[in-house]
Chain A
């Protein structure tokens, strides 16, 4: 077959489509009939899921502000949002799991931007610009090896990331008796940071088991936040932040129960600040189990 110019190829497609249309069928009622059936099935599925969700609700709790539990489709709603107090595993909705997993892969501060910005941006540009990237005029999959490879790989990558994202671990319980450990494990910190001493397995932010942080940096991060980490100066008091920073500086970069290389930087305030802060901050592991 002679090689066609782009203009000729376009004209040829228009001729062919005009032919298919001329020998086609009317949109109404033929296509509308199929569309209606599929739409009804979809609405049926949505109603079915809503009814299944509702049918497994537990009775409304008597206490205000607490979760109303449900069955396999999850609770009616969880407890009222209470910033900074509860340990919480911040899982996104399932269709953001792939992004969540990307962030777990690129979790060091230097690489975070790859998962959070670069890959999603590249992905969106490829998505929108795809008709200009794939210039192969053929529509049959057997003649579109590159598109076929992309069409197979992208769903596999997305499904894999979604699967692992759904299995991402949440917060753990306190293991250490050190002052501040219970507050770390019971507060927002354990949501994101793995920290062997506090028994926490969060995986969103950098691991404190692997990275030693000195007192000043820890205090600054807790108070002011950085990158994906929220600022806690509005949530915790001065002493509470000093206690947490002191605890992190003393035990980060070491296995559970051992002091880390930056322990000396916290000597002035820790554990004194924890005593002043009181409550969960003063106690060891016992306070955490009582929580």
Chain B
């Protein structure tokens, strides 16, 4: 009787082969991991991946916070106090979300500064810069909408002033303020609107743009620094 089973090494590979045959995901993963990058890339070029780490951290801590937070003017502040004072390690989750947002903005500036100094927005990477710039603006919108949610005095007044400043814009300004606040002043609806933007619309948009940004980085490759000595010489091509 011949053996019914293939050798163990082949059995171990079967799940992976099954996935690969149906989706091609393994080849995509291999392509992403084992592509070549210029050998003189610098430590300054790690900031983008650090930003993605912070984004994942913000998303994770954000989900945990959303399990306790209630976007209602009567209870929002109490749930924040509960998370900070009573929930197990709630202070750590809220603290990391709070300080993570500041660090994210700092890293965004540094990442953008690095790209600028390297001239990495030039051909063929113009679209990578544009997606990054839009992500930057959306992250600022993220922090503005997140600021109100704590619903303490600082949060409230900063948002009143922010939204009203918005209202000084001609034509669309007052309408935009009205839409943001859902009426002439901050109310229950304002808070749930900011919450929906902060935890659904904006992170969704940012996540999608990060995917596009990342795809462009992988497709076009990482630049080598402008001081690179790796120059193509005649006869080398």
- List A residues at the B interface (Cβ < 8 Å): 9-10, 13-17, 19-28, 30-32, 34-35, 37-39, 42-43, 45-47, 49-51, 53-54, 57, 60, 65, 67-68, 73, 76-83, 86, 88-96, 103, 112-113, 116-117, 124, 127-128, 130-132, 134, 137-141, 144, 147, 151, 155, 188, 191-192, 204, 225, 227-231, 234
Contacts and interface: CB of A to CB of B under 8 A. Distances in A.
The 9 nearest A-B residue pairs measured at CB:
A50-B95, A81-B156, A90-B157, A139-B119, A78-B152, A131-B126, A35-B49, A28-B33, A38-B46
Contacts of A82: 153
B65 to A, nearest CB: 13
Contacts of A42: 50, 53-54, 103, 107
B53 to A, nearest CB: 4
A251 to B, nearest CB: 24
B228 A113 contact: no
A77 B84 CA distance: 9
B232 A16 contact: yes
Q: Determine which residue in B91, B96, B119, B125 has the highest number of CB atoms from chain A within 10 A of its CB, and name it.
A: B119
Contact of A34 (B46, B53, B136): B46
Contacts of B119: 138-140, 144, 147
B39 A25 contact: yes
A261 to B, nearest CB: 27
A124 B121 contact: no
B36 interface: yes
Given A68-B85, A127-B137, 17 more contacts: A26-B36, A26-B37, A38-B47, A38-B49, A42-B107, A47-B92, A49-B95, A50-B99, A51-B95, A53-B95, A76-B91, A78-B154, A88-B153, A89-B157, A96-B144, A124-B137, A231-B184
B33 A27 contact: yes
Contacts, number: 255
A147 B116 contact: yes
B114 to A, nearest CB: 11
Contact of A81 (B54, B137, B152): B152
Contact of B124 (A14, A229, A231): A14
Interface stretch (B16-24, B197-205, B219-227): B219-227
Given A38-B49, A95-B140, A21 B126 contact: no
Nearest to B94: A50
Contacts of A80: 77, 151-153
Contact of B221 (A17, A54, A96): A17
24 contacts: A15-B237, A19-B230, A27-B37, A39-B49, A46-B57, A53-B95, A53-B99, A60-B81, A68-B84, A78-B155, A80-B77, A86-B153, A90-B161, A95-B143, A96-B162, A116-B168, A127-B133, A131-B129, A139-B119, A141-B117, A228-B161, A230-B160, A230-B164, A230-B185
Contacts of A25: 36-37, 39
Interface in B124-149: 124-126, 129-130, 133-134, 136-137, 140, 143-144, 147
Given A23-B230, A140-B226, A10 B170 contact: no
A168 B105 CA distance: 21
Contact of B41 (A31, A39, A86): A31
B113 interface: yes
A103 B184 CA distance: 22
Tell me the interface secondary structure of chain B in the complex.
Answer: helix
Nearest to A127: B133
Nearest to B48: A35
A228 B165 contact: yes
A268 B95 CA distance: 54
Contact of B168 (A34, A45, A127, A228): A228
Interface in B74-109: 77, 80-81, 84-85, 91-92, 95-96, 98-103, 105, 107, 109
B208 interface: no
B47 A77 contact: no
A112 B49 CA distance: 39
Contacts of B184: 225, 231, 234
